[in-house]
Amino acid sequence: YKYGAKITHTTPENHDKQMAWHQNLEHFTKIVLAQVLRTHFHDPTELDSYSSPNSRTSLITMGRILNADPELYSEIQAYNLQGPALIQAYCEAAQALGQALAAGDVALFATSMTASAVALGPTYLADMLQKSQALQRQLV
């Protein structure tokens, strides 16, 4: 297949669930980050001097999304009916963690991070770490 693409056979429902993660939620989080960036930092290049490998990767993805067609990305948000529920779940989780941190409760953050690491499993996390390190080597 073109560029080594793999065909995945699935149901329309499962496709939309996957795309709600890979498109709706991914685009949403990066647009929100861009909004915070432009309202709190003004000069995005200043962040470059302070960026970690993780934030640099996030900024790169944000830049890619912002260079895309806003109408197309808005249509993606509008037409995947599974997107809003996933975005709502994200907002609820972010609000709970944010409120805990604002109240000085860092334990909830650590507990959530640990629970997610356990749920995702060491094999998956090792694979993602390896891929992340390969990307970071390319960005240096």
Residues in Cβ contact with 1 at an 8 Å cutoff, skipping those fewer than 6 apart: 7
Q: How many whole angstroms separate alpha carbon 68 and alpha carbon 124? A: 30
Least confident of 23-27, 60-64, 115-119, 134-138: 134-138
Residue type, 74: S
Tokens found for residue 63? 């830049």
Looking at residue 1, its pLDDT comes to 64
Looking at residue 48, its pLDDT comes to 86
Band the pLDDT of 139: cuts 50, 70, 90: confident
Q: How many whole angstroms separate alpha carbon 70 and alpha carbon 117? A: 34
Q: What is the pLDDT of residues 60-111, one digit of tens each?
A: 999 999 999 999 999 999 999 999 999 999 999 999 999 999 999 999 999 9
Q: How many whole angstroms separate alpha carbon 17 and alpha carbon 76? A: 13
Q: How many whole angstroms separate alpha carbon 116 and alpha carbon 110? A: 10
Q: Please choose, from the candidates 6, 7, 27, the residue with its C-alpha nearest in 3D space to the C-alpha of residue 84.
A: 27
Looking at residue 100, its pLDDT comes to 98
Q: How many whole angstroms separate alpha carbon 42 and alpha carbon 56? A: 17
Helix H or strand E segment including 133? helix 122-139
For the chain, what is the mean pLDDT? 95
Q: SS3 of 131, please?
A: helix
